[in-house]
Structure 1
Amino acid sequence: MGTTNENGRFAGKVAFVTGAANGIGRATALAFTREGASVVLADVSEQGNRETARMIEEQGGKALAVRCDVTRAEDVKAALDKTVETFGRLDFAFNNAGIEPRKPAPTAEYEVEEWDRILNIDLRGVFLCMKYEIPLILKQGGAIVNTSSGAGVIGIKGSPAYTAAKHGVIGLTRAAALDYAAQNVRINAVCPGYIDTPMMDRFTGGTPEGRAKVVSEEPVGRMGRPEEIAATVLWMCSDAAAFMIGHALVVDGGQTVQ
């Protein structure tokens, strides 16, 4: 995995990652560490979050694990207050916390409670995070990446809430990006396809048949790896992407271009 790099492109910087307990969030937190950043890990899963922190510390990095429910404004504010209290600044945020639907259902049969649950976490949670991150990042400039999905650019049959939430993340990203583009805060979205994570295990039922069906929908013939999304997020936060504003970058093995 490598160790933290004091001369990395993010040395001396601080990154805040939601959904850091596993999957894409964990991989991105570790990638930030390898580039020299201190990382704040925010998640409702305290056990997974602590494990991510342990992995970072094993690499010689600095991590702060905080329990954070992104649907609660007070949790988000407290986590970011702790970020500044511990590390003194905030340069990057990866608003990645999200959930998948429990089961597919056509729109007219969709449960209101399930709609609210998904929109609350996957869309409102991103808004709350940006609301409290942006004032901190404005102090010295930086970048925010929000996690949308392939479902943010195409419709998904039987998944109205997730599709709406992920489309919403792109719209929210674009609006916020325009609000702060002239103030040295770049805001973009990443749209992963099928990535091999614990969430994907739940989605496929963890069976060989379920996994094979998902792989069959990927033109590249495999699922993506969390590290591939992490590499994309780090590039989006780097100076190499300095002219990218309000963009939704699809990284999906060709799934949405069929």
Structure 2
Amino acid sequence: MNIVVLVKQVPDSGAERSLSADYSVDRASASNVINEMDEYAIEEALKIKEAHGGEVTVLTVGPGGATDSIRKALSMGPDKAVHVQDDALHGSCAVATSKVLAAALRTLNADLIISGAESTDGRVQVVPHMLAELLGVAALTGARKLTVDGSQLTVERQTDEGYEIVTAATPAIVSVWDTINEPRYPSFKGIMAAKKKPVQSLALGDLGIDAGEVGFAGASSQVIEFTKRPVRNGGAKVIDEGNGGEQLVAYLATEKFV
């Protein structure tokens, strides 16, 4: 089975994050890592390869610095990678990014595309659905379990109430949550092997996409303004002098909790 895993490099969610003057995510000064949910997608692809054979390709759209995350992904076990990088991509929205990913995926002839359910920087959860529409394939999203039987896929789709069982035939795209598996740690052997694995670099011209369709010029949405998260205050202290309950209720009322 030919499996492609979508991997995105994002600013570390555990560190301070900010926007640049052009309202794009400031990646230059951030500590950038593989999107956490994508590591579960990589693990699931490797498990399928181990059970059914085939090849796993990592696909990334991002700047030159994303090579670090590509090598980290390859050290987990995938066979090769494709890196779409072009200066014109800076500022691309989810719609434009989906166009680029779809164009790259058409060159890879994947039976199965696996992605994380969301990225920790955008958190819009729409790219898998957009790709399914652009490629004309089934979308099995929000998976907590994936079963492969030949060309038949069965997914337990995680919901707030439990899960739904959804099936489809390949080719298809599956997005996964962090409940689906436990990603493996790269071994020293895997880290060394990743340095020799092929990484194909593609530009927009290689995919037949005009620069005007992506970046800020082709964005379907725009950030008008933003403010930083307000500094957390020390909170309010209630001293009980016989009317502590009344003070507490009054405070909760002002905060619209009661």
On whether the aligned pair clears a TM of 0.5, the verdict is no
If the TM-score is normalised by the length of the shorter chain, which range does it land in? Answer: 0.3 to 0.5
Query: Higher helix share goes to which structure?
Result: 1
- Which of the pair is proportionally richer in strand? 2
Higher relative contact order structure (alpha carbons within 8 Å, sequence separation ≥ 6):
2
Structure whose CA Rg is larger? 2
